[in-house]
Structure 1
């Protein structure tokens, strides 16, 4: 009986973590928002135990911050942390692209084509917007991580790094034209992987991540200037 109860509690906490993750990454819960255990327990009609466990899961993924004697809040990712995040991302994703080129080859062509055609449709509908992907199964970067064949790279990227990147991605919405540029970069990376050229694939991926960071950093600077001008 206790085993069933333990399993049930684990499932409840996973469900709560998934719901809160969606709320955070879609912007419904903004960075800095307080995540009170009592309020969340009332919202989801559960005890505080599963809520506490769910918040712990989100803290492990880097999108929630738990401060002793203060409680949990949606993480505010500072510029220095964002820069470090993108540095790690560039290294891991470049390696993933190199491995994907060795493992996938031309067998990956149909998968990339379907994915990029879908993204092209999104860009055509919003040509001045950012390159925002709405689900992980269609995310170009997740596909490459899967094709790398390295379970550690895949786990670290999908469970720890990408949730934090998604929290930052909201800031890309005002990067005019970045969507079309990113799509073109993705096309070149996919072509290198399909051709089996790992060296070029890794180089192009690293450059792509660097361009993404440059666009984000420019916007962060502009946001800080706007805040200063209003104070």
Structure 2
């Protein structure tokens, strides 16, 4: 049975993991950066136990690599891994979009369109830039995942897939985006959800994810070569 000390250690590990996750996804800790236990214990003023637990949590999210006898580093996502992420993303988000169209309808469509109207003004300023979203209820894909009302789909997307995709964007932040095209695709998806058409909505989302991967893949190899 867990003791109060165990619970306190668990809470400390979660706090450390949350702070390190934010540092990684904001680009303050870049892919490949070493996460030394001694340095982290000094930074957070804790023992090694919570630090190791926090690193294990980040490892489970897929944004930290832990190598026995070598230590932990911010994960470097290679091209093959990036492709695998997008393949899983296509399947999960396609299903989430189908469920959102089944569960909701016109009101959901209006909510999504209102969100896309906010994004449109930002994209008009940088039509060839990345389609940057602030996360949470301002992120089109996260909102659709929430609308799916499927807790398992939401958990896999929010706890595993989205952090890894965010880390991938950190590494390739200078890759040319396709903001205007992505916005048009989002608008078609939102319209299909508003029409309560799960088949079309899911198809459009899968096509959107494939288009996103093609745009990234076209520049990925060259970008990796420059950093080696």
What's the TM-score once normalised by structure 1's chain length? 0.92
> 2:151 maps to what in 1?
151
Q: Secondary structure at the match of 1:214?
A: helix
Conserved 8 A contact 1:130-1:172: no
Q: Which runs of 4+ in 1 moved over 4 A?
A: none
> 1:41 maps to what in 2?
41
> 2:76 maps to what in 1?
76
Residue 3 of structure 2 is aligned to residue 12 of structure 1: no
Unaligned runs of 5+ in 1: none
1:175-230 Cα deviation digits (max 9, x unpaired): 435111111111111110111111111111011100111111112122145458xx
Deviation larger for 20-29 or 2-11: 2-11
Aligned-pair distance for 1:113? 2.5
> 2:104 maps to what in 1?
104
Alpha-carbon separation, structure 1, partners of 2:190 and 2:126: 22
Q: Secondary structure at the match of 2:3?
A: helix
Q: Secondary structure at the match of 1:145?
A: helix
Q: Secondary structure at the match of 1:72?
A: strand
- Tell me the matched-pair count: 227
After superposition, the Cα gap between the structure-2 partners of 1:109 and 1:196, relative to the gap in structure 1 and judged at 3 Å, is same
Q: Secondary structure at the match of 1:174?
A: coil
Alpha-carbon separation, structure 2, partners of 1:109 and 1:131: 20
> 1:209 maps to what in 2?
209
Q: Secondary structure at the match of 2:81?
A: helix
C-alpha RMSD of matched pairs (Å) = 1.7
Alpha-carbon separation, structure 2, partners of 1:177 and 1:91: 22
1:39-58 Cα deviation digits (max 9, x unpaired): 01101111111111111110
Conserved 8 A contact 2:102-2:196: yes
